[in-house]
């Protein structure tokens, strides 16, 4: 494949004694979608935060179009998140006091685009996302699926190179969630943007081009899964051998005791004697 749009090399991050990331390598190309899965506390959200410039890794590098971005000062990383990154969160995080079109236009207005121009540019996204009649509605007047479509438009309106989606269907019913993730993957692919989706749902992950699993701060691959399975099998086999050995020792001890005869208080009894 061509050079990735976004890449992380050797990413490590700790919070106190907790090792959230432990030398993670990850990449995603233009128009490609990557699902990041893993149990709660595995490090998948920390990985997203490091890739998106929300957190700085303790070690490793984050490259956007071949340029290192993890060492940028916070004002520059903030501008990066506004101009070259887009975000879709679990609950949309739309501003309740703004209509849908101004919510979409917000990144443009924060970047200095005049309001009228920004809103006009924002409204170009409404028809393709099935929102044509909803531009003037406020978030409280939108369904969960409609609000997430508005969030998708906001993520892409500024021409984002990478879109990060953190559990984008987590607050939706299954049917609506499937439609939202299908739309998100399709529209980012058509725009040539890279997409990183953090999810715990295999039904969401299957829409993406690739899936990686984070486990204990590391990327779990087919090879590491096989190694873990082999280790578990070896451990189980070792336990079985130890159990058999222990059973043999007990049996041998029982045989030895039986051969010696029962112990009698007061010493041995002469053959034929009464012991009294």
Domain membership flag for residue 20: yes
155 within a domain of the structure (yes/no): yes
**What pLDDT score does 90 carry?**
84
Show the tokens assigned to 39. Answer: 């149990």
Written as six digits, the tokens of 118 are: 């920004």
Q: What's the pLDDT score for residue 137?
A: 96
pLDDT value of position 71: 92
Low-confidence ranges of the chain (pLDDT < 70): 1-2, 221-276
Tell me the C-alpha distance between 55 and 70, whole Å: 9
Contacts of 2 (CB under 8 A, 6+ apart): 29, 30
100 alpha carbon, distance to own chain's centre: 28
Asked if the structure places residue 264 within a domain, the reply is no
245, two tokens: 């050995």
As a whole number of angstroms, the distance between CA 2 and CA 62 comes to 17
d(CA 117, CA 109): 9
Number of domains in the chain: 1
Q: Report whether 117 contacts 146 (CB < 8 A).
A: no
For residue 186, give both structure tokens.
Answer: 């399709």
Report the predicted TM-score, pTM, of the whole model to 2 decimal places. Answer: 0.78
Residue 143 lies in a domain: yes
Per-residue pLDDT, 239: 47
Name the residue with tokens 């890739």.
51
252 lies in a domain?
no
Angle between helices 144-156 and 100-110 (to 10 degrees): 20
Are 191 and 117 within 8 A, CB to CB?
no
Residue 235 lies in a domain: no
- Residue 193 belongs to what domain range? 4-224
Q: Which of 99, 103, 91, 94 has the alpha carbon at shortest distance from 138?
A: 99
Query: pLDDT at position 246, please?
Result: 56
The domain spanning residue 149 has which CATH number? 3.40.50.300
Is residue 195 in some structural domain? yes
Give the SS3 label for residue 45. helix
42 neighbors 95 (Cβ within 8 angstroms): no
């Amino acid at each position: 494949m061509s050079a990735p749009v976004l890449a992380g090399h050797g990413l490590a991050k700790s919070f106190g004694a907790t090792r959230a990331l432990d030398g993670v390598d990850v990449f995603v190309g233009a128009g490609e979608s990557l699902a990041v899965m893993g149990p709660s506390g595995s490090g998948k959200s920390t990985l997203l935060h490091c890739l998106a410039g929300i957190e700085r890794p303790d070690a490793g590098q984050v490259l956007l179009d071949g340029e290192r971005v993890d060492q940028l000062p916070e004002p520059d990383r903030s501008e990066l998140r506004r101009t070259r990154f887009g975000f879709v969160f679990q609950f949309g995080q739309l501003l309740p006091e703004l209509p849908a079109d101004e919510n979409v236009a917000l990144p443009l207005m924060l970047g200095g685009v005049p309001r009228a121009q920004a809103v006009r540019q924002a409204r170009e996204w409404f028809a393709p996302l099935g929102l044509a009649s909803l531009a003037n509605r406020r978030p409280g007047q939108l369904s969960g699926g409609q609000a997430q479509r508005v969030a998708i438009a906001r993520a892409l309106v500024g021409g984002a190179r990478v879109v990060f989606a953190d559990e984008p269907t987590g607050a939706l019913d299954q049917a609506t969630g499937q439609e939202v993730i299908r739309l998100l993957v399709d529209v980012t692919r058509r725009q040539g943007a890279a997409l990183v989706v953090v999810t715990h749902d295999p039904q969401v992950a299957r829409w993406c081009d690739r899936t990686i699993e984070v486990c204990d701060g590391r990327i779990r691959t087919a090879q590491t899964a096989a190694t873990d399975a082999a280790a578990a099998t070896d451990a189980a086999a070792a336990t079985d051998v130890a159990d058999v050995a222990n059973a043999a020792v007990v049996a041998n001890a029982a045989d030895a005791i039986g051969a010696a005869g029962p112990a009698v208080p007061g010493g041995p009894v002469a053959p034929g004697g009464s012991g009294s």
